[in-house]
Structure 1
Amino acid sequence: MNITLKPLNQQVIVITGASSGIGLATARAAAKSGARLVLAARNKEALTDLEQQINLRGGKAIHVVADVGRQADVERIYEAAMETFGGFDTWINDAGVSIYGKLDDVTDEDNRRLFDTNFWGVVYGSLAAARHLRHTGGAIINLGSELSDVGIPLQGMYAASKHAVKGFTDSLRMELTEDEAPVSVTLIKPAGINTPYPEHAKNYTDKELTLPAPVYAPEEVANAILHAATHPERDIFVGGGSKLMSSLNKYAPSVVDWVNGNFMTSQQLLDKPARNRDGALHQHAEGGRVHGNHDGYVMKTSLYTRASMHPVVTSAVVAAAGAAALALIGNNKRKKRMQTTNQQESNYNI
């Protein structure tokens, strides 16, 4: 089915996890593009501030304090969108939490809480969105991870939840296609992103947490999300590192297992004692921050991601560059032939 998505300035967009990190970056970028917004998260203060900022700048936003791990709360998000705007065009399932700790150390309670947010929150949001969008058309955008395809130590249950999100998202896309519903379903797979993610994670270790390189800016994820809101896409890898991890795991899984098993734990821990070990697993953390405190290099953009989202333009640029290179080579060859000919004539005249 040919799916047509509206320009951002004609859309109503629902964003969960809007109080910080990727969700906050996406909300700000969407508002700047003229979209009307339904903002959801657990942090009332951060949502209220964000709503006021957007509305004072001439935008239109409302907020709903909600825990996406509770289906009733997700229904309240849906109802608020319907009552205020008469519907929505894009639903972004961004809310997420993490745990750093070995699998046999983490409690069942914490693991279930993680799955409530990361998996069931996506399920509840996607199904609510599909209920409306299968009649009107639009986009469902789910936040997966590079760990949707790869497992790593210390974040095993987080990786499991993102694998589950991928399986659910793929199946939902197939069923909507089978029903000929005009709905685009996209899975976003970011690499490490410089948000407060490590600070918000439940920490079972005795060290401060960090992200393994390469790390990218959250605005690059927001850019990919809003691209998917206007262009039907199946998957978008944010960061060449994410694509590389996925490809290596597909073609050389034993190599990835060995590398991650021997080096990945140390890449996620700093040589500093742990501070806030509870994080935001069971209660909201400080909101209002897009960026984290990553002390390594952060890439502002990803050439791979930009190229994957604009393949025609990229191909044209590459083709033009190739043509220019060939022309330059040809010009140099002509110059050399002329120089050789002139030299030969000079020698003959002598």
Structure 2
Amino acid sequence: VMVITGASSGIGLATARMAAERGAKVVLAARSEGALHQLAEEIRGKGGRAHVVVADVARPEDLTRIADEARATFGGFDTWVNNAGIGMYGRLDEVSVDDMRRLFDTNVWGLVHGSLEAIRHLKQHGGALINVGSEVSERAVPLQGAYSASKHAVKGFTDALRMELEDEDAPVSVTLIKPGQIDTPFTVNAKNYLDSEPHHVPPVYAAGAVAEAILTAAVKPVRDVLVGGGAKAVAEMAHLAPGLTDKAMNASVIPGTPSGKPSRRERDRSGLDVPTEALEERGNYEGRVMETSLYTKAALNPLLTGAFVAGAGLLLGAIVKGLPHRPAAMRGDAGRTTPKALHIHLEAKPGREAEVEDLLRDILACVVREPATSPWYGVRLSHSTFGIFEAFPDEAGREAHLTGEGAAILMKRSNALLAEPARIDKLDVLMSKQD
């Protein structure tokens, strides 16, 4: 039995449909009564079992009622998914603080009360608590400052709760799902202070990719997972080069978020203010939407992850064999400075492969002026997949490169040329073959 909050649209709707198709009984909770009953009839019409609870997660008593009705209808539950949430777009000094508080009432306090209600039952019977966070808990984004802050709070609460339950040896797994840009009604229903309706900056994934991750976590405990290779790339960039990532965000997210089209909902009729009765998974994104994420599938499947790591190791090994002779300080010998490296994965948009090759040439022209960057390789892994491998004598050399001219060129042109953000692996070179 799976309890799903925010079940009437987007990720919650996709999760409810997928769970019911796989035989789960579902407790559907949201404010949108008409949409919930429509979904329940859809599920029952296909032979599934569903129970509707009209509830607002910003009200703690409603969360208690969800749990009570799950017990009364199905005898309890073994999975609770805190998915309900709302977005907000606008510069922080232009957004109402009262609206920020109401956003936190849903996104943070709704999840907190839902989690506490769930674990009261799950501690006795066992099961999974799954909280839906966001990639913005790893890296805040401009124009969504309040939403980013709420998801940082979700991550902190979820991580602390997991540790405390582990300390008690409670039979409860706690998973944080961190979706990237997902094509749902999120952008349409968000409280919007921009001059036009917001839309996502690519890469964009379908809600089904998140639902798949949620259902996997329900049966195979996992600590957390980013949904989408783009989300993983953004998270890694935020840790590797936070200052450069700030500049990249300003260059891509701020101009890329406004769609230029009128908002379909008045500001005082947003999802923060009133529920929507539309039963919709998809949103307003008009570009390519990826139905699944190979990165997320690999992260959730140890065998696939091993294959990816092995493949990357073979590639790196082949490149390292070609490293020229370096001074002793570059060899990673005991007591010596460990050399550093970067491996950057680039996936070209269809038809932009030649331009990505030109991009590599332009980066090389910058790198030749960096004495600490040597060797440097630009490689082609397939028709549309490119890579950069580069080594440095120490961390200072690597950090100088990440804030240098070549890195700036990559970030500036990646949105136009790449199908997803560049994925950067930060490496230590342990050893190499010397001539």
Give the structure with the higher percent helix.
Answer: 1
2:289: which partner in 1? 298
Provide the secondary structure at the position in 1 that maps to 2:286.
Answer: coil
Offset at residue 87 of structure 1 (A):
1.0
User: How do 1:47-62 and structure 2 match up within 5 A?
Assistant: 47-62=36-51
User: How do 1:183-222 and structure 2 match up within 5 A?
Assistant: 183-222=172-211
Alpha-carbon displacement from aligned partner over 1:184-205 (angstroms, at most 9, x marks no partner)? 1000011100111110011111
Counterpart CA distance in 1 for 2:50 and 2:92 is 40
Contact preservation (8 Å) 1:44, 1:65: yes
2:229: which partner in 1? 240
Provide the secondary structure at the position in 2 that maps to 1:22.
Answer: helix
Offset at residue 315 of structure 1 (A):
2.7
User: How do 1:89-104 and structure 2 match up within 5 A?
Assistant: 89-104=78-93
Pair 1:129 & 2:131 matched: no
Contact preservation (8 Å) 2:134, 2:177: yes
Q: Of 144, 150, 174, which aligns to 2:163? A: 174
- Shift in CA distance, 33/272, structure 1 to aligned 2, threshold 3 Å: same
User: How do 1:244-259 and structure 2 match up within 5 A?
Assistant: 244-259=233-248
Q: Of 280, 298, 309, which aligns to 1:307? A: 298
Q: What stretches of structure 2 of length at least 5 have no aligned partner?
A: 315-435
Alpha-carbon displacement from aligned partner over 1:5-31 (angstroms, at most 9, x marks no partner)? xxxxxxx00000000100000000000
Contact preservation (8 Å) 2:195, 2:258: no
2:133: which partner in 1? 144
Contact preservation (8 Å) 2:142, 2:250: yes
Offset at residue 277 of structure 1 (A):
3.4
Contact preservation (8 Å) 2:188, 2:263: no
Alpha-carbon displacement from aligned partner over 1:230-273 (angstroms, at most 9, x marks no partner)? 01000111001111111111121111111112331111111223
Provide the secondary structure at the position in 1 that maps to 2:259.
Answer: strand
Pair 1:44 & 2:11 matched: no
Offset at residue 317 of structure 1 (A):
8.0
**TM-score (structure 2 length as normaliser):** 0.69
Offset at residue 319 of structure 1 (A):
6.1
Alpha-carbon displacement from aligned partner over 1:67-103 (angstroms, at most 9, x marks no partner)? 0011011111011011111110000000010111111
Provide the secondary structure at the position in 2 that maps to 1:15.
Answer: strand
Counterpart CA distance in 2 for 1:169 and 1:48 is 31
> Equivalent pairs: percent with the same residue?
54
Q: Quote the RMSD (CA, aligned, Å).
A: 1.7
Q: What stretches of structure 1 of length at least 5 have no aligned partner?
A: 1-11, 324-350
1:289: which partner in 2? 280
Counterpart CA distance in 2 for 1:42 and 1:195 is 17
1:345: which partner in 2? none
Provide the secondary structure at the position in 1 that maps to 2:261.
Answer: strand
Counterpart CA distance in 1 for 2:218 and 2:46 is 22
Pair 1:32 & 2:25 matched: no
Contact preservation (8 Å) 1:68, 1:74: yes
**TM-score (structure 1 length as normaliser):** 0.86
Paired AA for residue 169 in structure 2: E
Contact preservation (8 Å) 1:113, 1:282: no
- Shift in CA distance, 55/249, structure 1 to aligned 2, threshold 3 Å: same
Provide the secondary structure at the position in 2 that maps to 1:222.
Answer: helix
Provide the secondary structure at the position in 2 that maps to 1:59.
Answer: coil
- Shift in CA distance, 317/65, structure 1 to aligned 2, threshold 3 Å: same
Provide the secondary structure at the position in 2 that maps to 1:294.
Answer: coil
Paired AA for residue 288 in structure 2: Y
Provide the secondary structure at the position in 2 that maps to 1:208.
Answer: coil
Pair 1:226 & 2:215 matched: yes
* Larger RCO: 1 or 2 (CA < 8 Å, sep 6+): 1
Alpha-carbon displacement from aligned partner over 1:21-47 (angstroms, at most 9, x marks no partner)? 000000000000000011000000000
Provide the secondary structure at the position in 2 that maps to 1:237.
Answer: strand
Counterpart CA distance in 1 for 2:261 and 2:168 is 53
Counterpart CA distance in 2 for 1:39 and 1:158 is 24
Contact preservation (8 Å) 2:33, 2:277: no
1:4: which partner in 2? none
Contact preservation (8 Å) 2:131, 2:176: yes
Alpha-carbon displacement from aligned partner over 1:176-234 (angstroms, at most 9, x marks no partner)? 00111011100001110011111001111111210011100110000000000001000
Aligned length: 312
